[in-house]
Amino acid sequence: MKSILLLFLVLFSTSYYASAQSRTVTGKVTDTKGETLPGVSIKLKGTSVGATSGMDGRYSINVSGNNSVLVVTYIGFVTQEIAVNNQTSLDIALVSDVQGLEEVVVVGYGTQKKVNLTGSVASVSSEQLEKRAVTKSSLALQGQMSGIQVRQGGGNPASNGASLVIRGQGTFSGAGNSPLVLVDNIEASLDLVDPNDIESVSILKDAASAAIFGSKAANGVILVTTKKGIAGKPIFTYNSYIGKTEATMVPEMINSWEYAEVINQVFVDAGAAKRYSDADIEKFRSGTDPVNFPNFDHIGNLFNSGNGISTRHDISARGGSEQTQYMFSLGYYNENGIITKNDANRYNIRVNLDSRLNDKLKFSLKMAGNLSRNNQPSGVNGLGLGTIVGGAMRNANSIPGRMPDGFYGRNETLHPEADLESASFLQNRGTNFYTNGSVIWDVFKDLKITGQIGHTYGLDQSKAYVAKYAITPTYGNALNSLNENWYQGTALTLQTIAEYNKKVKDHNFYLLGGVSGQTYDDKSLGAFRDAFPNNSIYEINAGSTSRGRQSGGASRNTLQSYFGRFNYNFRDKYLFEANARYDGSSRFPQDSRWGLFPSFSAAWRVSQESFFKDAKDGMPWLSDLKFRASWGKLGNQSIGNYPYQDLLSLAPVYPFGSTLSAGAAVTTLANKNITWETTTINNVGLDLGLFNDKLSLSADYFVKTTDDILYSVSVSNMLGATPALTNAGSVENRGWDFNLNYRNVVGEFSYGVSAIVSFVNNKVTKLSKIDRDIARGLFVGYPIGSAYGFKSDGLFGSNADVAGYATQPFADQAQGGGIKYLDISGPSGVPDGVVNATYDRTIIGKPLPTSTYALTLNGGFKNFDFNLMVQGEGGRNDQVNLGQFFFPLENNSNVQRDAYENRWTPQNPNPNAAYPKLRNIASGFFNTNRVDFWYRDATFLRLKNAQIGYTLPKKLISRAGMSSLRLYVSGENLFTLSDFYKGWDPEMQTGGSAWYYPLSKLYVAGISLKF
């Protein structure tokens, strides 16, 4: 009996233990956006037990024990190890591995696996771009990749895109430094693409990757790929946010009574009586008479007059069958500026269609369009906000704004409040349409031929209306006027591409050949009228014709191209690529119309060698290693359409007796021998993967040399014509690019770190037969745009310090508190005791930062995610704002608080004070007579973006038909560290322009919905 009982207990316990330890775990596998992932491998760690997720992403696997661990792997996603514990239901969200070995990168006219690249190519995916709440696609590239400098020049909604420079400024000619942008292989503007429509962006940085684009690739190439449809039921996505903008930095001006005290001191120093009595100053301070003794904050009034509200709405649908897939999107964006009557809005539409017609033929059609509109108030010059902002910056607080009688205060011709409240405006309208159609013929297994046609259409219309309005009882703008301009640009691209891909045992061959033709047509019309009957009618026909003007023009240029690429790959170890493009441009004379642009590159994947795999046993942390090298030549043909022809200007008029008659004149001297600007780039690189590629490093060293830069030497106006362009200049850029990425998953916590840094040293190496062109800031051996002027040694501590010092160039500054100009040379090459412009000026400012960098942190825990990016510029970047409102008291200008509190005074005779003694300065004095005292380092570190989001659990939203609902808050341009002038944003670097509109901080709350 005991034996039977014992046997029963053993069997029962064994059965109970087995049932407790062996069970089925089920769940669903998705990506972080909630989209299902079929075909995911789920294995029980340490065993051969495994499962695969189905088309709906669901899986089922048997596990034994509470200590079981699931290993989840899927191409393009980070491998995860997940402890089962006592769970029977386990949903898994995989994190995209943007650095994975299987990642495919878009290159010129095709794609390549990232591990097989031989050139220097950087890429960013839609997942990374969507973490930014930006108004323009160009801004989304900031801090994402090394080798490209992205800088926003201002916060005006009408023009707040970013300038893009790849690996330094290569030219100082009119050809410019903007990269070539191709959207789905057709030339277009990056900022005309809705950020939500972008699938990926690739930057071709060296000649090996960009040479296939030849004469347009000297400044690098940006390839934008838009999203396609997917096979399956439709997926609808809705993204929206509402945001509030405010200025990042605005200089603070002193109060009216402080300004009065400063003016009194300036008058006394000049030997004159005080302008304001003590009683006047007290009235300013007390505010008892705001009309005659105001304290009106012109800057605060201007930059707080707008509400700064921005909104964005995007909806898209993606779906289709195995035969045909579609993507359709609509978008609307509106931004109100921080200045009233200043706004911009844009409507976007896109349709992408891909269809397999039969086993051999595929068809692709991409169409996109947008309508944009922006408005801004205008001053009497009809140029928009420029004079209004300049007036608000220059007008002291002692000048009233709008007074009770309806009139306004003014400083000479500056009256910002009157301009702002007038009916004057600058209005711009833009209509753009883009069509791209392709037919792909799979001739046989290894041969494919693609025919593509692309057409872009752009129409820009502007109206600049200046109203008639009173400013004071005796002064105002008595004549209203309208300038209207119309510009149309079209571009047609036809190209045929053949691709042959052949594998012979361990040898892989790829050959691409193509022919392309491009035609660009531009037309413009302009009209001017004035004396309109009132301020409510501003159409050209309503104005007087007595002073009316009309203008119009048209131009065309064409480009014919032949291009090819050859790739060789042996066992994924030895990689070779050659590219060539042969371009013929109508912009050059017949004898130099054609140019050849070749490149060669090679790579060695050491990690594929057998000895590396053997060595890896002793270095398990080293997973991938590749060396790259490249050389190539690129061209720049972005010059005027007819520089080699003698053109007649029909604008001049000539007097014949008492009558003015139309005439013609040659105003530009032509050069019949001009040719391409040619850029040669040498590049060596290293790609390294560590810890199963969780950590990756890419490093490149490059030398970029541009020769035959088109240049005309600055000459006197006595010549009577613009000098001819000649191929006479050279520029060199040397530098490094580094990209470091780390991605990992620990349980339910995923995180990533990305760091980029670039170093570029720019210098002019040749300048015709001279070594300097001071007017253009060109000096052999120094960066483009270098500042030239006097050097200083602080300030004179007192009048007594002037005696015995070198004779100063400006007598009124040779006193206590004046800038102490240095004597650095003389006729014999050594200091001669006299400071003058001939011998004592030198390079005083290098305007280009030597480094750009960014650090991005991102992560997710359960349903929460976050992203944070800091970005900046380093090295030395000497800048000064040369606008008339920057220098205290220049041309009757205002005084910044920073200058007021940190200036030299008799009570604070500090020779190292940040600002000199305040005195009246003639307009443009320091612009004409530059001195290093005013230059400050404009490098900076900025918290560019911070975002946190929460994705609601599916069980809460599934009943409403939603598959994903994410809420987030985000901020842009949140915090900045810099040694630049207080109140001035260093990223803007306004240089010599009087234009100013502060960059904006943007705070948004948004929603992302899928169903």
Query: Taking a C-beta distance cutoff of 8 angstroms, is the pair 456, 440 a contact?
Result: no
Query: Taking a C-beta distance cutoff of 8 angstroms, is the pair 894, 394 a contact?
Result: yes
Query: Taking a C-beta distance cutoff of 8 angstroms, is the pair 635, 584 a contact?
Result: no
For residues 517 and 745, give the distance between their C-alpha atoms in angstroms, rounded to a whole number: 49
Nearest CA-CA partner of 576 in 624, 656, 669, 511: 511
Please tell me whether residue 442 adopts helix, strand or coil conformation: strand
14 has pLDDT over 50: no
641 has pLDDT over 80: no
Confidence of residue 764 (pLDDT cuts 50, 70, 90): very high
What is the tens place of the pLDDT at every residue in 345-390?
999 999 999 999 998 999 999 999 999 999 999 999 898 998 999 8
Write the DSSP assignment of 558-594 as a string of letters: EEEEEEEEEEEEETTTEEEEEEEEEEEETTS-GGG-E
Considering only CA atoms, give the Rg of the chain: 33
33 has pLDDT over 80: no
The rounded percent of the chain whose pLDDT value lies above 70 is 91
For residues 994 and 384, give the distance between their C-alpha atoms in angstroms, rounded to a whole number: 13
What is the tens place of the pLDDT at every residue in 293-308?
999 999 999 999 999 9
In this structure, what is the dihedral angle of CA atoms 237, 243, 245, 248, given to the nearest 10 degrees?
Answer: -70
What is the tens place of the pLDDT at every residue in 426-470?
999 999 999 999 999 999 989 999 999 999 999 999 999 999 999
615 has pLDDT over 70: no
Query: Taking a C-beta distance cutoff of 8 angstroms, is the pair 631, 207 a contact?
Result: yes
719 vs 544 pLDDT, higher one = 544
Please tell me whether residue 468 adopts helix, strand or coil conformation: coil
User: What backbone phi and psi angles, to 5 degrees, belong to 494?
Assistant: -125, 125
447-466 and 481-504 strand pairing? antiparallel
- The structure tokens listed for 460 are 């820009």
For residues 501 and 441, give the distance between their C-alpha atoms in angstroms, rounded to a whole number: 14
Average pLDDT value over all residues in the chain: 89
976 has pLDDT over 90: yes
Residue 583's Cβ-side half-sphere holds a number of Cα atoms within 13 Å equal to: 28
999 has pLDDT over 60: yes
For residues 225 and 270, give the distance between their C-alpha atoms in angstroms, rounded to a whole number: 66
Strands (E), 69-208: 69-73, 80-83, 92-94, 104-107, 110-113, 121-125, 148-152, 162-166, 180-183, 186-187, 198-204
Given the structure tokens 């930006």, which residue do they identify? 134
The predicted pLDDT at position 877 comes to 82
Query: Taking a C-beta distance cutoff of 8 angstroms, is the pair 676, 643 a contact?
Result: no
For residues 779 and 789, give the distance between their C-alpha atoms in angstroms, rounded to a whole number: 13
The predicted pLDDT at position 18 comes to 41
Q: Is the dihedral of CA 99, 101, 103, 106 positive or negative?
A: positive
Q: What secondary structure letter does DSSP report for 95?
A: P
For residues 821 and 823, give the distance between their C-alpha atoms in angstroms, rounded to a whole number: 7
The predicted pLDDT at position 374 comes to 95
949 has pLDDT over 80: yes
Query: Taking a C-beta distance cutoff of 8 angstroms, is the pair 663, 646 a contact?
Result: no
| Average pLDDT over every residue of 515-535 | 96
89 has pLDDT over 60: yes
The amino acid at 703: V
Confidence of residue 8 (pLDDT cuts 50, 70, 90): very low
For residues 728 and 707, give the distance between their C-alpha atoms in angstroms, rounded to a whole number: 8
927 vs 264 pLDDT, higher one = 264
Residue 774's Cβ-side half-sphere holds a number of Cα atoms within 13 Å equal to: 12
What is the tens place of the pLDDT at every residue in 777-821?
999 999 999 999 999 999 999 999 999 899 999 998 999 999 999
Helix axes 256-269, 278-286, angle to 10 degrees: 160
Confidence of residue 561 (pLDDT cuts 50, 70, 90): very high
| Average pLDDT over every residue of 707-714 | 81
Query: Taking a C-beta distance cutoff of 8 angstroms, is the pair 380, 466 a contact?
Result: yes
Q: Is the dihedral of CA 189, 191, 192, 193 positive or negative?
A: positive
Query: Taking a C-beta distance cutoff of 8 angstroms, is the pair 601, 119 a contact?
Result: yes
Q: Which residues pair with 72 in a beta bridge?
A: 42, 80
The amino acid at 820: K
Which region, left, alpha or beta, applies to residue 590 given φ > 0 means left and ψ of -120 to 50 means alpha? alpha
User: Helix, strand, coil: what percent of the chain each, to 5?
Assistant: 15, 50, 35
The amino acid at 600: F
Longest dimension (CA), the chain: 142
State how far the alpha carbon of 989 is from the alpha carbons of 206, 457, 985, in Å.
28, 33, 7
98 has pLDDT over 50: no
What is the tens place of the pLDDT at every residue in 175-213?
889 999 999 999 999 999 999 999 999 999 999 999 999
